Amino acid sequence: MWSIRRRLLIVFLCISPCAAVHAQGLNWNEVEPGVWRGIAGKPEAYDLIKASGATANASALSKLPSVDFPIAKEAIHTQIIDGKTYLRFPLEKGEQIYGLGLNFQTIHQRGKVLQLHVDHFGGKDNGRTHAPVPFYVSSKGYGVFINTARYINMYVGSAVRKDSETPAVPKDRNTDKSWSSRPYSDAVEILVAAEGLEFFVFTGPKPIDAIKRYNLFMGGGPLPPRWGLGFTQRVKTLSTAADVEKEVSEFEKNGYPLDFVGLEPGWQSKAYPCTFEWDKGRYPDPKTFVKTMLDKGVRINLWTNPYVSPDAPFYKNILPYTGSHTVWNGVVPDLLTPQARDILFGQMQQDQVSLGVSGYKIDEVDGYDHYLWPDVATFPSGMSAEQMRQTYGVLMQRYSTEMFRKLNKRTYGLVRASNGGANAFPYVIYDDYYNHEDFITALINSGYSGVLWTPEVRASKTPEEWLRRMQTVVFSPMAMINAWSSSTKPWSFPEVAEQVKEMALLRMQMLPYWYSEFAKYHFEGMPPFRGMSLEEGFSTGVVKVKGNTNLEENPYAEAVSKEIKDQYMAGESLLVAPLFAGQTTRQVILPKGKWYDFFTGAYVGNGEVITVTPGLNKIPVYVKDGAVIPMMQPRLHVPGAKEKTDLEIRYYGEQPGHYMLYDDDGESYNYEKGQYSFREIRVEKQRDGGIKGQIAAAQKGMPNTIGKVTFKQMTK
């Protein structure tokens, strides 16, 4: 269907010379179903898509509904001014804008002035962040992606044009109390310091469809190995092989799950700058060490940053392929030269990946300005420092993933910088910031921007904080404790040690669900962690509460008029509403439809604001009517590729339930060759009050890790 439509549109574009559009130098072309490319001027040779090498999942895109171009094309303006490309998209009254990267404090972006710029998050949402993805989605049901490796100035409904068609009325501040310092703006205005620009519009019809299209256009989300969704811990930087083995044993002994262990800089002979080789003192026999760990079901993740020490074995070889400036006195590989890539990743492949190391934590590719090459730096490839900064995290993800792909093994790692186009890479972003509330906001924003984020657990001041943080990290893309500096173990707070264990084991029990949800990220573009605005039946939300609104008299208005950034969707059916240290009670906004308690199955409400006081041991999690959640038995390590696991399929509420359960070998890229299955699960309530559940049979010749299946009726 779409392909015919696309052809017709192309014809239309060819035979209908739309003067207005051409006068602005804008050409539109539907490059994939519902994905429109716009070109202004002469775009640069290097951009975000070139950096990531992303290729569209055309067949998945073709399954999405066909929708007309969502904006009047003549309302989109572009112009080359002052050697830069100007681009304007219209905004309607009440339209909300989400996305624009890994923001930490706000979800609604309308009204913002941002410079999208790879950096650490410096305490203010100003565009400088670990993943300043130039993609936004509108509540009107379309998305926009700016495909440039330049810094991008964005005025997201903040600037007011003299020629605005919906002008604000000037007011006299002397006498008019309704005067506002932020007059109404009806456009997103964008400036990029390049004499041309490629950009894309993704159609809906709903915002979530635009996001799915964006993700699929970039190849879909990553499908982590199964073990990546288990539990992970990082150990002290100067740990020896024996220390690590001891710590792993303690997890086992204490009954806490553990799938991979992260080694911090001390695994290298020198760090900051790095040698990229094992320290012979601390790791005299890395091969045996890695194998011993693997035999225990525990994989090894290695920290590194990309800055090469003069003592690295390949220093002299890589030197000609490094930038003009050093970082911590280490040279910076120019990853746009094949030589630098071959040398750097050749070393890592040979020295580490070939031994069975499972992945990397790629540090300090974000900034801040003092800890990175300056914008004046030059690189042998001729790429500018700015473009290199915007994409270095992307390049590191891309080429490090290739090492594993060569062995037909998936990886799942950590990275501190990413950008648009890197959607498909199996990396989770983290940083040094540590505000729990803001971590959740970042988790929500990750779903609008095609990236993954972990609200990792580090040192905590109290058992309460430790447990509250643990409760959220298990409902995130990576269940990680990164408390090596303080040496906090999961059991370090005896008051909550059992509860922490319970949460960690819950993570493991939910593995069939998480894995299936990530498969949907990959195959359908549906982000596994999402903001509430994307949920059917949830208001997009008027954002700002006026200072003088009397919240006591109007609690409902309060509930819907503030920015909702303390609850989110985890996978298809779960609504997670965390509490933070110091909180004992909170409000939860339930979208329309019946909702149930995830743990008990009890009905909790329908399209309303509820107040809950769950106690310290519980994180409020709710499921939709008809939800089907596949669970397995709690275990300490994820099952192996050929192991079979029994499932308990939980069913909530009254509506007929439906779920697509994903299965494959969990470790290789064979799923790309079709070696996977989605098995349909159906559950229906019976007249007698009981339920009837069915799961489609395993497909012959496909990996099958599912053993006995039982169904559990959660809502009685």
Query: What is the C-alpha separation between 157 and 97, in angstroms, rounded?
Result: 9
- 219 vs 323 by CB, closer to a copy of itself: 323
Q: In the set 165, 172, 553, 688, which binds a copy of itself (CB under 8 A)?
A: 172
Q: In the set 271, 318, 505, 629, which binds a copy of itself (CB under 8 A)?
A: 271
Indicate whether 61 belongs to the interface with a copy of itself (CB under 8 A): no
Indicate whether 82 belongs to the interface with a copy of itself (CB under 8 A): yes
Q: Where are the alpha helices (DSSP H) in 352-462?
A: 385-406, 436-449
Indicate whether 317 belongs to the interface with a copy of itself (CB under 8 A): no
Q: In the set 268, 418, 472, 509, which binds a copy of itself (CB under 8 A)?
A: 268
Q: In the set 196, 310, 605, 640, which binds a copy of itself (CB under 8 A)?
A: 310
Indicate whether 311 belongs to the interface with a copy of itself (CB under 8 A): yes
Indicate whether 75 belongs to the interface with a copy of itself (CB under 8 A): no
Helix (H) or strand (E) holding 153: strand 152-156
Indicate whether 243 belongs to the interface with a copy of itself (CB under 8 A): no
Query: What is the C-alpha separation between 263 and 525, in angstroms, rounded?
Result: 32
CB 192 within 8 A of CB 27: no
Who's near 474: CB < 8 A, 6+ residues apart? 503, 504, 506, 507
CB 211 within 8 A of CB 527: yes
Site mask for a copy of itself (CB under 8 A), range 371-400, x = bound: x-xxxxxx-----xxx--------------
* Tally of CB atoms within 10 A around 225: 26
- 60 vs 271 by CB, closer to a copy of itself: 271
Indicate whether 482 belongs to the interface with a copy of itself (CB under 8 A): no
59: tokens are 């067949």
Q: In the set 30, 186, 279, 464, which binds a copy of itself (CB under 8 A)?
A: 279
Nearest distance, CB of residue 175 and a copy of itself, angstroms: 8
Q: In the set 65, 179, 242, 285, which binds a copy of itself (CB under 8 A)?
A: 179
- 153 vs 533 by CB, closer to a copy of itself: 153
Indicate whether 325 belongs to the interface with a copy of itself (CB under 8 A): yes
User: Which span sits near a copy of itself by CB under 8 A: 53-61, 325-333, 602-610, 661-669?
Assistant: 325-333
Task: Scan residues 84-143 and list those touching a copy of itself (CB under 8 A).
Answer: 86, 88, 113
593: tokens are 């439809």
Nearest distance, CB of residue 282 and a copy of itself, angstroms: 9
- 93 vs 253 by CB, closer to a copy of itself: 93
412: tokens are 């799942």
- 131 vs 191 by CB, closer to a copy of itself: 191
CB 334 within 8 A of CB 360: no
User: Which span sits near a copy of itself by CB under 8 A: 51-59, 65-73, 172-180, 593-601?
Assistant: 172-180
Indicate whether 503 belongs to the interface with a copy of itself (CB under 8 A): no
Nearest distance, CB of residue 376 and a copy of itself, angstroms: 5
Closest C-alpha to 330, from 417, 395, 271, 280: 271
Indicate whether 167 belongs to the interface with a copy of itself (CB under 8 A): yes
CB 132 within 8 A of CB 149: no
Task: Indicate the SS3 state at residue 406.
Answer: helix
- Which phi-psi region, left, alpha or beta, contains residue 131 (left: φ > 0; alpha: ψ -120 to 50)? beta
- 161 vs 544 by CB, closer to a copy of itself: 161
Query: What is the C-alpha separation between 195 and 41, in angstroms, rounded?
Result: 6
487: tokens are 């040496």
Closest C-alpha to 10, from 32, 26, 42, 40: 32
User: Which span sits near a copy of itself by CB under 8 A: 150-158, 395-403, 448-456, 643-651?
Assistant: 150-158
Give me the amino acid identity at 293.
M
Sign of CA dihedral 130, 132, 138, 142: negative
Indicate whether 330 belongs to the interface with a copy of itself (CB under 8 A): yes
- 328 vs 599 by CB, closer to a copy of itself: 328
Indicate whether 183 belongs to the interface with a copy of itself (CB under 8 A): yes
**CB-side neighbour CA atoms (13 Å) of 680:** 4
DSSP one-letter code for 457: B
Q: In the set 134, 221, 262, 266, which binds a copy of itself (CB under 8 A)?
A: 266
Helix (H) or strand (E) holding 295: helix 286-295
* Tally of CB atoms within 10 A around 675: 14
Give me the amino acid identity at 131.
A
Task: Indicate the SS3 state at residue 699.
Answer: coil
Name the residues that contact a copy of itself, by CB under 8 A. 81-83, 86, 88, 113, 153, 155, 158-163, 167-175, 179, 181-183, 189-191, 193, 237-238, 265-266, 268-273, 279, 309-311, 322-331, 369-371, 373-378, 384-386
